[in-house]
Chain A
Amino acid sequence: MTAEQATASPAGSAWRDAWRPFWRRFRRNRAAVAGLIILAAIALIAAGADVLRPGDPFRLAGQPFAPPFGAFLFGTDSLGRDVAAGMVHGARTSLLIGLVATVAAVLLGTLIGGVAGYYGGWLDDLLMRVTEIFQTIPFFIFAILLVAILKPSIGSIVFAIAIVSWPGVARLVRGEFLSLRGREYVQASIVMGMPDARVIFLQILPNALSPIIVTGSLMIATAILTESALAFLGLSDPNVMSWGFQIGSGRTHLRTAWWVCTFPGLAIVLTALAINLVGEGLNDALNPRLRDR
């Protein structure tokens, strides 16, 4: 561990050296910067939910079906719950589930793909066949199945989304590792007697990070959509407000009270769009083939 401590300072400034040109390239993509601003605004709203709309979002705040832009910004639903309050608190759920599920999926996928790509041979065959089994099951039906078996809760939804999302990451990471392990600097590390874990995490992984970050950023949007879709079908934590739940509960009144579904729906669209724009921007900034064009 002493090695890590001593090299922390050069690594730290190396990171700063890498950051500046990265930001310069990212900034060049206007749409990505716009996406980042939208995303930051949504995150701020989610963080300040208790200040913006204090109290329980499930609380009956007024008359049912109050139209928007009156007493309530986005109106109320069939039970008189404030739609805006639900959206503000739902933002928390969506972002949290999107982030946690994606991080879990990326970690699992990186580990499995990395081991398969680095060691190769029968281990690679085995892990890739397992990955393919996961990939053959339609991912949304698989997620419904998992949540239905485990009882809907925040934990089970995160688990289900992570389980259906990791195979893509695993395949990507395996490909990167397969090509990077043949590089001479990796071979030099092996020849100098470096333990496998150190080769994998300190030599190969830093060089495979760019595509992983890009894929991960785009996966957050998919995870949020999956969560909303599950909630729409009633497979959500009954004690937690979410955008998908709002749309699900308002869908029967779509013709009489359009606002109950529309505003949470727009929130989902906006968030997914912002994340995709940022992901594209990351891809441009991190992909060496597009650099300095």
Chain B
Amino acid sequence: MSEQAPILRIEGLHVRLPAGADRAFAVEDANLELHANETLCVVGESGSGKSLTARAVLGLLPKPHVVASAGRIDFAGRDLLQLDADGLRKVRGAEIAMVFQEPMTALNPLMTVGAQIEEVLDVHGALKPRERRSRVLALLEDVHLPDPERIARAYPHQISGGQRQRAMIAMALILEPKLLIADEPTTALDVTTQAQILKLVRELQRKRGTAVMFITHDFGVVADIADRVAVMRHGRVVETGTAESVLTRPAHPYTRALIAAVPPLAPPERPPAQHAPDCLAVRHLHKSFHVGGAWTGGRGKVVQAVRDVSFRLARGETLGIVGESGSGKSTVARCLVRLINADEGEISLGDVDLRALSARELRPVRRRIQMVFQDPYGSLNPRYRVGRIVAEGPIVNGTPVERAYARARELLELVGLDARAADRFPHEFSGGQRQRIGIARALALDPEVLVADEPVSALDVSVQAQVLELLASVRDRLQLSIVFITHDLRVAAQVCDWIAVMQRGEVVEYGRTSSVFESPRHAYTRELLESIPGRNWSLGAARSNFSDGAHPATS
């Protein structure tokens, strides 16, 4: 970018893993350069070594098992790998600062926010005690926290996730470091909050000329914030370049595959519904939770999780319920499959009202509405073989055992696994494969409706695209109706015919996917759409892809 010497130069970095790990080096021969006043995005999927590269810079590798075994990390004329503990301590915080992913656990819950930021000054012996306080307040103001006085006095649990992340950034920047390392700082945040934090990082970086090394898995975030991009895969840097060139003219096939796997924002053309009859109709659903113990006699707080939610779903169609955390979308999913009981309303599955059934009456009906869960690691019983996990549902519902196992094998093939997978245990599979098993398990009961609660949120983008494709193909083949719960509007645009946007327990907008995306009526929907990372890049890319005739989701 500039002719100046880079602030940070990583040369031939190797990070060795302990014997017995799945590969010898977590990071292999990594070369990166970062200049002042520049944001470098290190992007890659899980296990690519991007986080360990960042940690190696600060000497935060999990010693003694994982060590930087070769290479140099030159920062301001010193090789950080050669520094002793004392030397590193002087660099950390003062010259290089770090922001972590999880703002709740990165802050000490027993100290007020203000005291924690002051502590950084204290540790590095900067400023007189009297000046520190005003400095902290000025910085809290800089990161756009409302009422800095109050925030400084608050404990971490008393402020929201976005505010905590702002406080973390304030803490990182208080000594005016030359380099800020941010490790997935927005991954745990809602999309609207993420957009605000990205804007803040960009603004502070411009104002202070800080160099930012930003670790992320999300190409949308890259498009919004990066000056330069480094793509990592299996510990190697496969491509580096300016954001503009990597995003629009990716050279390496892996980069191309990753970018293609990002769901485009424009909903794909789907044939309009053939007026199929309604399969699922939800009317005026209410659910509130009582917070507080049994001994307080119901005097605790009441939280309205779901308020007057209604929607209908025809056979073979997909309804997306989108919203941020706490919007009540997962509560709706759990009410639908009666994992929790709604307080009021009607859930009509064909001609039965699920909500009105007793536990005994419900059991035979349950097979008609099945669920796919979010966590590919927690949703399969680790003690049983995959065949049994898939066959269990039909067996419980009276299918002869032999036939249930045979069907399980068929289903495993249907979801793109080998029938021999039936004889293996869940831990032998990757996250994406486990999610396929979870889908096979739900399909084993021949349901009419599939409720999928964030089914791809825990997966890497490339795997995510495959699982979405699988869901779409089984939907079309088996004429399933799907209720698709997600926080990711890109995903929703790809798979849903209808979209219901939820905010604070209410559906604020409900309509055809294309009309919700093209002409959102509610202010909150507009805010959500504008917060999607990489929105402009995607819209631009969609146009250029169109002219190529290529559809990214099918590659």
Contacts and interface: CB of A to CB of B under 8 A. Distances in A.
Interface in B369-412: 369-371, 373-375, 378-385, 387-389, 392-393, 395-397, 400-402, 405
B366 A207 contact: no
Interface stretch (A88-96, A161-169, A189-197, A226-234): A189-197
B339 A190 contact: yes
B395 A3 contact: yes
Contacts of B392: 189, 192, 194
Interface of B: 294, 337, 339, 362-364, 366-367, 369-371, 373-375, 378-385, 387-389, 392-393, 395-397, 400-402, 405, 423, 425, 438, 441-442, 445
A188 interface: yes
Interface residues of A, number: 27
A188 B441 contact: yes
Contacts of B378: 183-185
A14 interface: yes
B294 A125 contact: yes
A193 B423 CA distance: 24
Contact of A192 (B379, B384, B385, B396): B396
Interface in A219-266: none
Nearest to B336: A191
B339 A184 contact: no
Contact of B381 (A7, A10, A195, A203): A203
Contacts of B393: 192-194
Contact of A122 (B294, B388, B438, B441): B294
A184 B374 contact: yes
A198 interface: yes
A191 B401 CA distance: 19
Nearest to B422: A10
A184 B383 contact: no
Given A184-B379, A191-B371, A192-B445, A3 B401 contact: yes
Interface in A141-179: none
A182 to B, nearest CB: 9
Contacts of B389: 185
A187 B371 contact: yes
B366 A191 contact: yes
A139 B62 CA distance: 46
A70 interface: no
B23 to A, nearest CB: 17
14 contacts: A2-B400, A10-B388, A14-B384, A183-B378, A184-B374, A184-B378, A185-B381, A187-B371, A192-B367, A192-B396, A192-B441, A193-B397, A195-B396, A206-B383
A127 to B, nearest CB: 13
A290 to B, nearest CB: 16
Given A10-B385, A191-B337, 13 more contacts: A2-B400, A14-B383, A183-B379, A188-B379, A189-B381, A192-B370, A192-B392, A192-B396, A192-B445, A193-B363, A193-B367, A193-B393, A193-B445
A133 interface: no
Nearest to B380: A185
Contacts of B405: 6
A198 B385 contact: no
B347 to A, nearest CB: 14
A184 B389 CA distance: 13
Contacts of B366: 191-193
A198 B363 CA distance: 13
A6 B402 contact: yes
A7 B388 contact: yes
Given A2-B401, A184-B375, A192-B445, A14 B396 contact: no
Looking at B366, B392, B395, the one whose CB has the most chain A CB atoms below 10 A away is B392
A184 B373 contact: yes
Contacts of A185: 378-381, 389
